[in-house]
Amino acid sequence: MNHTASPPKGNPPLPPLQQIPNTIASVSDYEAYARDRLSPQAWAYFNGGSADEHTLQNNSKAYHRLQLRSRVLADLDGAHTQLELLGHTLAHPFLLAPVAYQKLAHPDGELATALGAAAVGAPLVVSTQASVSLETLAQSRHAPLWFQLYIQADREFTLQLMRRAEDYGYSALVVTVDAPVNGVRNQEQRAGFVLPDSVCAVNLTGMQPSTKKPTQAGTSPLFGSGLLHAAPTWKDLEWLISLSRVPVLVKGLLTAEDALKARDAGAAGIIVSNHGGRTLDTLPATIDALPAIAKALNGELPILLDGGIRRGTDAFKALALGANALLIGRPYVYGLAAAGAPGVAHVLQILRSELEVCMALTGCPTLADISPAALLTTPYRG
């Protein structure tokens, strides 16, 4: 798929599917159905990445370079995908990544996503910029919930937001650290993306606006704008972790050095992520960044990974290289846009089924049996 293609034009978006057709056999099949049901602007927002979108595309392509080693006649009696993560027993290693403004994709937004996630036992990481309030989602009592947090310029509001999530039963906090400013999102620019009046970041209502310094003549349009004067630092992360009543994971790490600093700051886990290719173009694919981070942490913290997973074999490869669990982003949003909650559940079910097939055919009855030995280290020559 060409991610830099012009957004669809002309026909109004179609309504969500009432029944999932047999032609949807893989998670990628949902893309075309989602595109037909999103406005050109919403499609550019969800589908696009930063600049020329090399990182966005490489997130998926990098998996294709990795080959599997099949193993036969393994004892698969009692095989399962169960795991323990931060004190919780999960049926499988797939979680739903934080994605903002989901009412752009479906009228029920994050409520539909939570319902779909609950149907297959997947935790949902709720975005700071969700279009449904964290309280409303918690009261729906659907999926297990984590809360994703950007450290805001208004630090007191940031603390209040964390407390709201804790008070409503969110069992972990995911602090995203790789986007102090938005990336250069040309696809959104070309589509003229703006939020409609009916969609907003409801969790941020009441926050004090950031005070910006005036731009000085001859200075950088970013560095001279004052936008970075309140950008979070490691000290802010340490402050937040010290006050949190739930485990804190740090999302947006691509180097061993930063993973170790997150560990030292008190993180309960890390998420290897390049923000879905939406911040800085030509960053490495997350699967390529994973091995060095896994080696540095050496099992001290759980490692989650997002970016580019479109098949169960992709998930298997990430687990083999050191991830403990996976976050899925765009695929479930496409499922949401196409078919609401059933689409979200179907995407997760496809990935889990494909992972189980891969485990069976590589002789790995449990997630603990998946290791680098399941991958070829040199090209296969027959």
Q: Which residues are catalytic?
A: 275
How distant is the alpha carbon of residue 327 from its chain centre?
5
**Run of H or E including 252:** strand 248-253
In our burial notation (b when 16+ CB lie closer than 10 A, e otherwise), range 258-278 reads bbbbbbebebbbbbbbbbbbb
Specify the pairing of strand 88-90 against strand 303-306.
unpaired
Residues in the chain: 382
Among 169, 166, 173, 167, CA closest to 151: 173
Tokens of 12: 């109004």
How distant is the alpha carbon of residue 157 from its chain centre?
24
Taking only Cα atoms into account, the Rg of the chain, rounded to an integer number of angstroms, comes to: 20
Q: Which residues contact 13 (CB under 8 A, 6 or more apart)?
A: 36, 37, 38, 39
Among 321, 365, 348, 368, CA closest to 66: 321
| Partner residues linked to 250 by β-bridges | 175, 270
Tokens of 234: 């490691």
How distant is the alpha carbon of residue 140 from its chain centre?
22
